[in-house]
Structure 1
Amino acid sequence: MTTLVLASASPARLATLRAAGLDPTVVVSGVDESQVSDLPPAELALQLAELKCAAVAARDDVPPGALVLGCDSVLELDGEALGKPHDPDEARRRWQAMRGRTGVLHSGHSLRDTATGRVAAATGSTAVHFADLGDDEIEAYVATGEPLHVAGAFTIDGFGGAYVRGIEGDHHNVVGVSLPLLRELVLELGHAWPDLWSPTR
């Protein structure tokens, strides 16, 4: 079995990986996301994923031979990269701009093999079609607090799921980690996907 280390505090990413038979060790990177800016949205997501992966892979407490996975997601709307809102007012403005429209959710993935130092990285992109919410629904959703803690101010696997009319692409990518893309990165580094499955699953 190959040990997977998830360099992310996201409970949604962890739940997605566990549902797929993996049981990663979580090591939060502590990377300051504000240090990277002025990049196109897809590149920004990948750059942040690479920084998180590198920060955790350099730590002494990472198991030898582990695969370290860094991920980051941003929503692209009108060419702008939208991460987590800073406060309820920003989340409200986001939804007023997003409602009834389509954005693209970019999730950067960076996977490092600590045994060889090799890195495989890529960005998954999924079009997200948002429902046309009224102001009252936006207020109610923002009041749940959920939009404040996630890229693009929405989830597809929580309260926000009712406000996503459809997607084009990988559903898991919208949650924050694309399983098909991650499998390709694992293969690129010379490992087999089933080797990451937890023996207790």
Structure 2
Amino acid sequence: MGRLYLIRHGESEWNILSKVQGQSNTQLTDKGREQAKKAAQGLLHEKIDLIFSSDLNRAFDTAKVIGELLELEVNTFEELREMRFGVWEGLTTQEIMNKYTNEHTIWMTEPHKLNLPEAEKLIDLQERLLGIVNILIKDNKDKNILIVSHGSSIKALILGILGIDISFYNKFTISNTGISIIEYRDYSPVLRVLNDTSHLKEV
């Protein structure tokens, strides 16, 4: 029985500014790097076999910190990137509420119906993530795989793996370095842990 460990990147510069990052290549803060170290320490007993990451710096740098402690190399895939948010990228939440009021309301209440210029739809994001993750799972049967990615990507992926409709996207959240674990049992994938942040108590 293999396990899939999903972890969101540490705190980034744009997290502090409440800016939508999407596929913009933002950097970790010092706190973000410390969060990554704490997450790595929390994963030491989990017997991780492989680490894969989004190629965006905030995820890759988080993965590198974890990989150094676990003595594992990190392989990156563009398909593990965050959702492309198009015209929202670089804007703060307040700016979006002011400039895209209707679209923001849709995002908060019915996110699967959002259709922004130059952006991905949630269902497209989910299909992108499932495509690459299903390949990684198939190629590494019964291995414990750690994937470092992004908040929206991880949420969409979890729903897809569990067969839960994408319309439930806004019913849970994923924190910086929050760890989720899915077990691939004989009968079904099972969500064992969702957004564990217990390693951050001292950060």
Same fold by TM-score, threshold 0.5 exceeded?
no
Richer in strand (by share) = 1
Richer in helix (by share) = 2
TM-score of the superposition, structure 2-length normalised?
Answer: 0.31
TM-score of the superposition, structure 1-length normalised?
Answer: 0.31
The structure showing larger relative contact order (alpha-carbon pairs under 8 Å, at least 6 residues apart) is: 2
